[in-house]
A and B are shown apart, each in its own frame.
Chain A
Amino acid sequence: MTASTLFLCLFCQVLVVAGNILLKHAMAGIDGQQRSRLQTGLWLFAGIALLTLWFFLWLGLLSKYELSQLYAFEGLSPVFLMASAWLVLGEKVPLRGWIGVSLIGAGLMLVAGV
């Protein structure tokens, strides 16, 4: 795996994490009426745009590289997402949540055959 592939795999992670953070931000305020429909729509659109970009980048990577190599990175995304949601959105996660997501990350890597 070359440095550019590694970069693309990590960029995929950034897209998934940022896209879902944007979706959560859009949906969390939807019933509170703290912002207009237009603003909610724009946050949703931004999230969908990032996830669409992720989808095509991921398809491109899948067509070029071994599935098991790529799936190793899938184990990282739940951990990155929980940490980002804590940092960016201020989501409170109990200790059991952190232990749980670490086990999920390790488990997904074992399933991928790392």
Chain B
Amino acid sequence: MLTSDSTLPGFIGLKLSASTKAYLKLGACAALAAAGEVLLKIGATAQPDAPLTHWATWIGIVFYVLNFVAWLEALKTIPVGIAFAVQSIVQLIVPISAWLVLHEQISSARALGILLVFVGVFLAAAPSAIADERL
């Protein structure tokens, strides 16, 4: 993976704690799932009858496989309850991109929901990450 234990700290010149590396893997996991979803959508829109003939579908599938590998790596150290809660961010890409890219109107209830998920992810993930740093 990109955040492999041996390469990343030397490459950037930073010494990352095990917990930081685990959360980087979790972040990679969310980014791959989000990008995979967008690519599958592009493939399915361009070739509605045969999405497997479109390049975007295949890159999307590769992203989903990498997402699963990153998920297993993250689970080595991060509690699954917290890791899964953090992944809820992925479900916000559709409403947020509809608002940013397609300039769709967003209802105040939906905007509040997006805000609650971000605050919730911060609350769920931050304390354990900080506690691990201090150990």
A46 to chain B, nearest CB (A): 14
Q: Give the residue name and chain of the A residue nearest to B116 (CB).
A: A107
Most buried by A among B71, B107, B116, B127: B116
Give the dominant DSSP class at B's interface. helix
Chain A: interface residue total (CB-CB under 8 A)? 41
Binary flags per residue of B73-89, CB closer than 8 Å to A gives 1, else 0: 10110011110110010
B86 to chain A, nearest CB (A): 9
Within the assembled complex, what's the spacing in Å between the Cα atoms of A73 and B124?
20
Contact partner of A86 (CB less than 8 A), chosen from B71, B81, B95, is B81
Binary flags per residue of B99-132, CB closer than 8 Å to A gives 1, else 0: 0000000010110111111111111111110010
Binary flags per residue of B47-58, CB closer than 8 Å to A gives 1, else 0: 000000000000
Contact partner of A100 (CB less than 8 A), chosen from B80, B107, B109, B121, is B121
Contacts of A97 in B (CB 8 A): 81-82, 85, 123-124, 127-128
Within the assembled complex, what's the spacing in Å between the Cα atoms of A86 and B79?
9
Contact of A50 with B by CB under 8 A = no
Within the assembled complex, what's the spacing in Å between the Cα atoms of A97 and B88?
14
Within the assembled complex, what's the spacing in Å between the Cα atoms of A27 and B109?
38
Decide if B124 touches A96 in the complex (CB within 8 Å).
yes
Contacts of A77 in B (CB 8 A): 84
Contacts of A106 in B (CB 8 A): 113, 116
A95 to chain B, nearest CB (A): 9
A107 to chain B, nearest CB (A): 3
Given contacts A28-B76, A81-B84, A84-B81, 10 further A-B contacts (CB under 8 A): A82-B82, A83-B81, A89-B80, A93-B82, A94-B131, A97-B123, A104-B120, A107-B117, A110-B109, A110-B116
A residues in contact (CB < 8 Å) with B = 20-21, 23-24, 27-28, 30-31, 44, 71, 74, 77-78, 81-86, 89, 91-94, 96-97, 99-113
A-B contact pairs, 15 of them (CB 8 A): A28-B75, A77-B84, A78-B88, A81-B80, A81-B85, A85-B79, A89-B80, A93-B81, A96-B123, A97-B82, A97-B127, A100-B123, A103-B117, A107-B112, A107-B117
